[in-house]
Structure 1
Amino acid sequence: MVYSARMQCGRMLARESPVDADIVSSVPESGTAAAHGYARQSGIPFMEVLCKNRYVGRTFIQPSTRLRQLGVAKKFGALSENVKGKRIVLIDDSIVRGNTIGPIIKLLRDAGAAEVHIRIASPPLKYPCYMGINIPTKEELIANKLD
């Protein structure tokens, strides 16, 4: 049921935010179902562009910016043979602070991506969570910094 809902979000995202690209990919694993939905709806092939170190935990909940950045650097690697010269649509399930997606874009650009287009499969996260996720203030959330 969750997979189907996420895939449907990806299909809707492809209709609402199309882009001319060579491949669709995901931030593993959170964006994978939505990326498959986007790929099917758009007709753009899905291809993995990131490999994930499964021994690194959830980086966005680390207590400091520095720890989050270090976590992302250890967590992901680019699959250069799938990236070089490609226009990529990269799908993630959500964006919290923006600390994860920035380094991932840089990683893909450094691996030779011609373009990286980000698509997020959920509404903007605008309010803090006081029930366990380390987001104490609204000011930390990237959605509150955008128009």
Structure 2
Amino acid sequence: ALAENLAGKRVVLIDDSIVRGNTSGPILRLLRDAGATEVHVRVSSPPIRHPCFLGVDMATYPELIAHRLSIAEIQHYLGADSLAYLSLEGLIRSTRSNGDHFCKGCFIGEYPVDNEAVDKEVFEMR
């Protein structure tokens, strides 16, 4: 049924985020194997270039694909025809605020607390 719907089609794959890059690549291959002629990826967050030290179970620097690769390199790695992320400015605009009320650490590496003194386990329930 997938091939019947995708054969010869251009597809836009929308993902909430790309952290390690190990989910989107296999999905793109499935879409291409089903006959999609083009696969374009749009991500509804800015690139995640820094880990979360505040309790979100997220990858370390070496595991973060956007920390290691440029957007063009990620596009090539995933096998996408195009790749675009929501900008940080676009994310902030979407909240209808100046962005001062939420953490942007995983996007820009600036945390609301000193991450040198923070161990993520401190924030996790035991």
Normalised by the length of structure 2, the TM-score is 0.50
Does the C-alpha gap of structure 1 residues 85 and 103 become closer, same or farther in structure 2, counting only changes over 3 Å?
same
* 2:80 corresponding residue in structure 1: none
* 1:94 corresponding residue in structure 2: 17
SS at match of 1:106: helix
Identity %: 64
Separation in structure 1 between the aligned mates of residue 67 and residue 49 of structure 2, nearest angstrom? 6
Separation in structure 2 between the aligned mates of residue 116 and residue 105 of structure 1, nearest angstrom? 7
* 1:83 corresponding residue in structure 2: 6
Aligned residue pairs, count: 69
> Are residues 1:127 and 2:38 paired?
no
CA RMSD across the alignment: 1.6
* 1:103 corresponding residue in structure 2: 26
Identify the structure with bigger relative contact order (alpha carbons < 8 Å, sequence gap 6+).
Answer: 2
Does the C-alpha gap of structure 1 residues 124 and 117 become closer, same or farther in structure 2, counting only changes over 3 Å?
same
> Which segments of 5 or more consecutive residues in structure 1 lack a partner in the other structure?
1-77
Matches within 5 A, 1:1-147: 79-130=2-53, 131-135=55-59, 137-147=60-70
SS at match of 2:51: coil
Normalised by the length of structure 1, the TM-score is 0.43
Letter in 2 for 1:146: L
Q: Can you list the C-alpha shifts for 1:50-103, whole angstroms capped at 9, x where unaligned?
A: xxxxxxxxxxxxxxxxxxxxxxxxxxxx82222111011111111000000000
> Which segments of 5 or more consecutive residues in structure 2 lack a partner in the other structure?
71-126
Q: Can you list the C-alpha shifts for 1:15-38, whole angstroms capped at 9, x where unaligned?
A: xxxxxxxxxxxxxxxxxxxxxxxx
